[in-house]
Amino acid sequence: MPPEPVEDATPGPMAGQDRESLEREIISLYANELDYPEEIVTADADLEADLGMESMERTDLFLQVAEKYDITEQVKGMEVRNYPTIGDIAALVAEHVT
């Protein structure tokens, strides 16, 4: 009888991470890119209305997050406008990497 295949034991990008720490990481990325203090960039801040992000900027950062968490293929074709807050983006990431 052949041996059972061994699953890849390499932890994914979110191994051991909870939703709160994921949000903090994404907030940090957005704050850094926007040159805003992290206190202003919150999980429920509207990226366009509260942070003044334009469509291209939102798309660029959305793709950076997708690349960071290795979910580029899963988000291909998604409308960035359907994820107006960092909390929404964090929920999407968590859905695909956990």
| DSSP calls for 12-51 | -TTTT--HHHHHHHHHHHHHHHHT--TTTS-TTSBTTTTT
Residue 81 lies in a domain: yes
**Residue 9: is it exposed, middle or buried by C-beta count within 10 angstroms (0-12/13-18/19+)?**
exposed
Residue 79 lies in a domain: yes
Structural domain including 48 reads 19-97
Q: Which DSSP category does 77 fall into?
A: T
Q: pLDDT tens across 43-89, in order? A: 999 999 999 999 999 999 999 999 999 999 999 999 999 999 999 99
Tell me the three state secondary structure of residue 82: helix
Number of domains, the chain: 1
Q: Which DSSP category does 7 fall into?
A: P
Structure-model confidence comparison of residues 77 and 98, the more confident one: 77
Residue 13 lies in a domain: no
Residue 12 lies in a domain: no
Average pLDDT of the chain?
A: 87
The CATH number covering residue 74 comes to 1.10.1200.10
